[in-house]
Amino acid sequence: MKSAIITCAPTGAIHTPSMSPYLPVTPAEIAEAALAAAEGGAAIVHLHVRDPEDGHPVQDVGLFQELLAIIGESSDVVVNLTTGGSPHMTVDERIAPAVELAPELASLNMGTMNFGLFPMLDRFTDFEHEWERTHLGNKGLIFKNSFEDIERILKTCGDQGTRFEFECYDVSHLYSLAHFLDRGLVKPPLFVQSVVGLLGGIGADVEDLLHLRRTAERLFGDDYEWSVLGAGASQIRTAAISLAVGGNARVGLEDSLWDGPGKLAESSRVQVDRVRDITTALHRETATPGEARKRLALRGA
C-alpha cells in the first residue's frame, strides 16, 4: 500500500472555546498546534483562524498571514486554507484568504446541505460568549455551496495554481465533483475528503464509508486520493477503516474534541499520534509533505 497522507485540522468553525480549554484560538496557538501535528507525522495542515478576543470563526487575511509566517519559518508542511470558513459567512468572505494568499491547497465544499450543530447543546450548556450558543443552536442553518459558488471558486483560485481538497459530505457530492471533472474544471489527481458523522450529511457507519469508497472508485478510477474525516466520536474509528483499506485520514480539534470516551484531547497532536500508531500497526508508512505534494500534484510551498 502507498504511504498514508495524514491531514490535521487544529481549529475550525464547528467547536467553540467554551467546549474545550485546549482549542487553539490565536494565530500563535494555532501555529503551535499545526507545527506539533507536522512533527507527529501530519503531511498537511488544514487551517482556519479565529478572532483572538472571543474565538469566533473569521476569515481575516491578516490573521492568516500571521499564522502562515510562523508555520513557514519552521516547517515545509503542506498548508491547506479553508474556503468553507463557516456556514454563517458569505461566499465572498469565505474565499477572501485563498484569493489573496493563493495557497497550494485549499478546501472546497462540494454541495449545499443542512448543517446541524444544535445536538451539541445537549452536552454543552455553559458558554463564556453569547455567540457560541447562537452558533450551535441554529436549526435553520444552511451551508450554501451552489454549483455557481463551486464553479466560481474553482476558476478564481484554480487560475492562481491552487489545487483542492474536495470535501464531500454525501454521495451526491461525489457526483457533483464528477460533473466538474467531466467539464474539465478540475483535473486529476483528485483529493477527495469524505466527511462523515455530521448531522445533515452521511452517517459514519462502516457501510456508509464503503459506499462512498465504492462510488468514488466507480467515478474516478485511479485518478484520486481518498481520505476520511470522521466527526466527533467517529474520528479515530473511521480513520482506522480508511487506513485499513489503503486510504488516508484527517484528524484534529476542528473535527473532534475527544481522545476516547468522555476524555477531551489535550491537543490535535494526540489525535495525530493515534492515527500514526494505527498506520504503523497496519504496516504502512506515513507520507512526508514532499510525498503528499507529489501525489496530489501540488506546486510546492
| CA terminus-to-terminus distance, the chain | 26
pLDDT at site 301: 72
Cα 201 versus chain centre, distance? 15
Nearest by Cα to 95 from 156, 185, 50: 156
Q: Is residue 196 within 8 Å of 234, Cβ to Cβ?
A: yes
**Would you place residue 95 in the very low, low, confident or very high pLDDT band (cuts 50, 70, 90)?**
very high
Nearest Cα to Cα of residue 51 among 64, 34, 38, 40: 64
How do residues 153-193 score in pLDDT, each as one tens digit? 999 999 999 999 999 999 999 999 999 999 999 999 999 99
pLDDT reported for residue 259: 97
Asked if residues 167 and 107 have their Cβ atoms less than 8 Å apart, the reply is yes
Of 115, 109, 105, nearest in space to 94 by CA: 109
Lowest mean pLDDT among 25-29, 123-127, 286-290: 123-127
Q: How many residues does the chain have?
A: 301
Question: What's the mean pLDDT when you consider all of the chain?
Answer: 97
Q: pLDDT per residue over 193-248, tens digit each?
A: 999 999 999 999 999 999 999 999 999 999 999 999 999 999 999 999 999 999 99
Among residues 206, 205, 248, the alpha carbon closest in space to that of 229 is found at 248
Spatial separation of the C-alpha atoms in residues 34 and 31, rounded to whole Å: 5
How far is it, in rounded angstroms, from Cα 104 to Cα 299? 6
pLDDT of 101 over the 80 cut: yes
Task: Tell me which residue has cell 497496519.
Answer: 282
Domains contained in the chain, CATH given: 6-296 (3.20.20.70)
How sure is the predictor about 48, in pLDDT bands with cuts at 50, 70 and 90?
A: very high
CA-closest candidate to residue 257, choices 272, 269, 268 = 268
pTM, 2 dp: 0.97
Q: What is the pLDDT of residue 300?
A: 85
Instruction: Please report, rounded to a whole number, the percentage of residues in the chain having pLDDT higher than 90.
Output: 99
Q: Which residues contact 243 (CB under 8 A, 6 or more apart)?
A: 4, 249, 275, 278, 279, 282, 284
Output the pLDDT for position 76.
97
For the chain, the maximum distance between any two Cα atoms, rounded to a whole number of angstroms, is: 49
The residues that bridge with 192 in the sheet, in sequence order, are: 166, 226
With cut-offs at 50, 70 and 90, classify the pLDDT of residue 122. very high
Alpha helices in the chain (DSSP H): 27-40, 61-74, 91-101, 130-137, 147-158, 171-182, 206-220, 235-244, 268-281, 289-296
pLDDT at 1: 86
- Statement: residue 67 has pLDDT above 90: yes
